């Protein structure tokens, strides 16, 4: 998608040099003014982006910035963008538009736009021509270059449009400033090779590359020792973990090894691709001590014709085979999925297929999306479904799932579940909220002592999206 000349790899020592140079400069300013320069990191999109932003924050902190929560307090703003649907891109551009005023007030402010949107040439051009006050842009594979690009910008004063990496690599040992002290993301691999016909991810995040198993195991070990209670392994398609490596282990082996770590913690992973979800993986989960009985398995459509046009490489029979095996081995498993409504060429019959699969599988929760054409992907060139037809189908899908979700949650009333408490509920400050092992939201009367800890609650009532209970 991008035609710029690729950058040569950046060595760890060189990287450190840029960080130290910025640190010296920021320390000097702190000594002179008594105030640390602030960095504001703004994140759009998926969990992978949240994990990447924790690295941006880690690098900023190492460079001597204080992490601030208001853009108006920042001397450096990093916007971490998402390209998955048009809505996300429009929102990002509108926010970047608002930063013009901040730059007018403080011309020394540096604004960087990073992440998936910026791995697309036409989006880099949007920034180039319509947002002239943005200082530099780079795609997600160049994240480790933040100190380098910042130094270069400050030195030359010139705007930078960072080209793609010459080689997609795994950069280890970047500093991470985690948002939570009890929930953590751990990336196990980056990129995607699947090229589902609607999806921009393989174009913007590059080819699959997996971290070494030992690196992941030590990271999880350290997190558990530091008191982390809920650890999610991340990858665009975790089931193909290590297929690009030669050691001969796979994702199930990684999980099995992580499960041997002693401590009171829950392990999860996302996202899985049905074409690669193995029985071995399900067996490891079912017999594990720490792995949550929760599976996010994006189905995308319940029509074999549409699945084929989507280039998903499984059919509904294969999908049901996995779900049935999962339910047999773990009767308490929570199954969630992603569905796209209005994929090009989706007929009424195709959509009915999706509705039937919902009734057959009975998902605990769905993330449903209206198809959004992505420039450069094959599906964007196919014949589109009219917007009103898609909107009507979307409503029907939500209504059916609401009913199923309600029934699934009603079945938990009277049961005692372990919940990791997140703090006072945002919607009702008389209650505390947390997540069950199945990752369902639960509300209960708690106290500050509970935050970041497991509490047991007996479920008293439920709606389609959450549970309410009493502490036991």
Residues that bind ligand SF4 (CB under 6 A): 192, 194-196, 199, 201-202, 236-237, 273
Residue closer to ligand SF4 by CB (options 152, 193) is 193
> What is the three-state SS of the chain?
CCCCCCECCCCHHHHHHHHHHHHHHHHHHHHHHCCCCEEEEEECCCHHHHHHHHHHHHHHHHCCCEECCCHHHCCEEEEEECCCCHHHHHHHHHHHHHHHHHHHHCCCCEEEEEEHHHHCHHHHHHHHHHCCCCCEEECHHHHHHHHHHHHHHHHHCCCEECCCECCCCCCCCCCCCCCCCCEEEEECEECCCCCCCCCCHHHHHCCCEECCHHHHHHHHHHHHHCCCCEEEEECCCHHHCCCCCCCCCCHHHHHHHHHCCCCCCEEEEECCCCCCCCHHHHHHHHCCCCECCEEECCCECCCHHHHHHCCCCCCHHHHHHHHHHHHHHCCCCEEEEEEEECCCCCCHHHHHHHHHHHHHHCCCEEEEEECCCCCCCHHHHCCCCCHHHHHHHHHHHHHHHHHHHHHHHHCCCCCEEEEEEEEECCCCCCCEEEEECCCCEEEECCCHHHCCCEEEEEEEEECCCEEEEEEC
Determine, following the binding rule CB under 6 A, whether residue 50 of this chain makes contact with ligand 5AD: no
Partner whose footprint covers residue 340, from ligand 5AD, ligand SF4, none (CB < 5 to 8 Å by kind): ligand 5AD
User: At closest approach, how far in Å is the CB of 306 from ligand 5AD?
Assistant: 12
Determine, following the binding rule CB under 6 A, whether residue 192 of this chain makes contact with ligand 5AD: no
Determine, following the binding rule CB under 6 A, whether residue 338 of this chain makes contact with ligand 5AD: yes
Residue closer to ligand 5AD by CB (options 18, 44) is 44
Partner whose footprint covers residue 85, from ligand 5AD, ligand SF4, none (CB < 5 to 8 Å by kind): ligand 5AD
User: Which of 313, 212, 208 lies closest to 253 in space, CA to CA?
Assistant: 212
- Give the span between the Cα atoms of 27 and 309, in whole angstroms: 56
Of 62-70, 328-336, 365-373, 464-472: span binding ligand 5AD (CB under 6 A): 365-373
Partner whose footprint covers residue 237, from ligand 5AD, ligand SF4, none (CB < 5 to 8 Å by kind): ligand SF4
User: Vertex 229, ends 182 and 180: CA angle to 5°?
Assistant: 15
Binding to ligand 5AD (CB under 6 A): which residues in 280-299? 298
Partner whose footprint covers residue 234, from ligand 5AD, ligand SF4, none (CB < 5 to 8 Å by kind): none
Bridge-partner residues for 76, per DSSP? Answer: 39, 110
CB-count exposure of residue 129 (10 Å: 0-12, 13-18, 19+): exposed
Residue closer to ligand SF4 by CB (options 381, 445) is 381
User: At closest approach, how far in Å is the CB of 87 from ligand SF4?
Assistant: 17
- Give the span between the Cα atoms of 356 and 339, in whole angstroms: 13
Partner whose footprint covers residue 310, from ligand 5AD, ligand SF4, none (CB < 5 to 8 Å by kind): none
User: Which of 266, 313, 258, 263 lies closest to 284 in space, CA to CA?
Assistant: 258
User: At closest approach, how far in Å is the CB of 271 from ligand 5AD?
Assistant: 7
Tell me the residue nearest to ligand 5AD as measured from the CB.
Answer: 338
- The residue from 74, 84, 138, 266 that contacts ligand 5AD (CB under 6 A) is 84
Partner whose footprint covers residue 192, from ligand 5AD, ligand SF4, none (CB < 5 to 8 Å by kind): ligand SF4
Partner whose footprint covers residue 236, from ligand SF4, ligand 5AD, none (CB < 5 to 8 Å by kind): ligand SF4
User: At closest approach, how far in Å is the CB of 56 from ligand SF4?
Assistant: 21
User: At closest approach, how far in Å is the CB of 278 from ligand SF4?
Assistant: 16
Please tell me the number of Cα atoms within 13 Å of 336 on its side-chain side: 15
The DSSP bridge pattern shows strands 334-341 and 294-296 to be parallel
Q: How many chain residues touch ligand 5AD (CB under 6 A)?
A: 12
- The residue from 120, 237, 240, 300 that contacts ligand 5AD (CB under 6 A) is 300
Of 143-151, 218-226, 237-245, 366-374: span binding ligand 5AD (CB under 6 A): 366-374
Partner whose footprint covers residue 39, from ligand SF4, ligand 5AD, none (CB < 5 to 8 Å by kind): none
- The residue from 37, 85, 103, 123 that contacts ligand 5AD (CB under 6 A) is 85
- The residue from 278, 308, 372, 406 that contacts ligand 5AD (CB under 6 A) is 372
Residue closer to ligand SF4 by CB (options 45, 353) is 45
User: At closest approach, how far in Å is the CB of 275 from ligand 5AD?
Assistant: 13
Partner whose footprint covers residue 142, from ligand 5AD, ligand SF4, none (CB < 5 to 8 Å by kind): none
Partner whose footprint covers residue 188, from ligand 5AD, ligand SF4, none (CB < 5 to 8 Å by kind): none
Of 219-227, 313-321, 368-376, 395-403: span binding ligand 5AD (CB under 6 A): 368-376
Q: State the residues that interact with ligand 5AD by CB under 6 A.
A: 84-85, 198-199, 298, 300, 338, 340, 369, 371-372, 374
């Amino acid at each position: 998608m991008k035609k710029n000349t690729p950058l040569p790899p950046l060595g760890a020592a060189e990287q450190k040099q840029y960080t130290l140079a910025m640190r010296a400069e920021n320390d000097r300013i702190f000594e002179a003014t008594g105030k640390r320069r602030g960095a504001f990191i703004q994140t759009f999109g998926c969990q992978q982006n949240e994990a990447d932003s924790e690295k941006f924050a880690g690098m900023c902190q190492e460079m001597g910035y204080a992490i601030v929560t208001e853009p108006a307090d920042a001397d450096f703003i990093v916007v971490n963008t998402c390209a998955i649907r048009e809505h996300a891109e429009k929102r990002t551009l509108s926010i970047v538009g608002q930063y013009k005023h901040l730059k007018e007030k403080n011309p020394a402010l540096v604004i960087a736009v990073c992440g998936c949107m910026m791995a697309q040439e036409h989006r880099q051009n949007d920034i180039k021509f319509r947002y002239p006050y943005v200082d530099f842009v780079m795609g997600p594979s160049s994240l480790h270059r933040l100190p380098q690009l910042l130094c270069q910008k400050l030195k030359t004063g010139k705007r930078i449009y960072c080209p793609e990496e010459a080689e997609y690599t795994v950069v280890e040992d970047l500093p991470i400033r985690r948002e939570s002290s009890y929930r953590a993301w751990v990336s196990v691999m980056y990129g995607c090779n699947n090229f589902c016909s609607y999806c921009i991810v393989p174009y913007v995040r590059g080819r699959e590359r997996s971290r070494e198993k030992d690196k992941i195991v030590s990271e999880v070990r350290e997190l558990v020792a530091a008191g982390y209670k809920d650890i999610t392994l991340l990858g665009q398609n975790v089931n193909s973990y290590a297929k690009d490596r030669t050691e001969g282990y796979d994702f199930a082996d990684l999980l099995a090894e992580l499960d041997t770590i002693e401590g009171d913690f829950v392990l999860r992973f996302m996202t899985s691709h049905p074409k690669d979800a193995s029985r071995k993986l399900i067996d490891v989960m079912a017999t594990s001590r720490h792995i949550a009985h929760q599976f996010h398995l994006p189905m995308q459509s319940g029509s074999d014709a549409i699945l084929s046009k989507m280039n998903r490489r499984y059919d509904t029979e294969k999908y049901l085979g996995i779900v049935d095996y999962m339910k047999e081995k773990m009767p308490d498993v929570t199954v969630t999925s992603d569905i796209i409504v209005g994929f090009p060429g989706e007929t009424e019959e195709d959509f009915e297929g999706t509705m039937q699969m919902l009734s057959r599988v009975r998902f605990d929760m769905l993330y449903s999306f209206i198809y959004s054409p992505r420039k450069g992907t094959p599906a964007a060139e196919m014949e589109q479904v009219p917007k009103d037809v898609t909107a009507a189908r979307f409503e029907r899908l939500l209504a059916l799932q609401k009913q199923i979700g309600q029934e699934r949650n009603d079945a938990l009333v009277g049961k005692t579940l372990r919940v990791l408490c997140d703090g006072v509920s945002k919607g009702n400050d008389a209650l505390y909220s947390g997540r069950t092992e199945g990752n369902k939201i639960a509300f209960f009367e708690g106290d500050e002592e509970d935050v970041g800890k497991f509490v047991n609650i007996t479920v008293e009532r439920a709606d389609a999206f959450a549970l309410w209970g009493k502490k036991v």
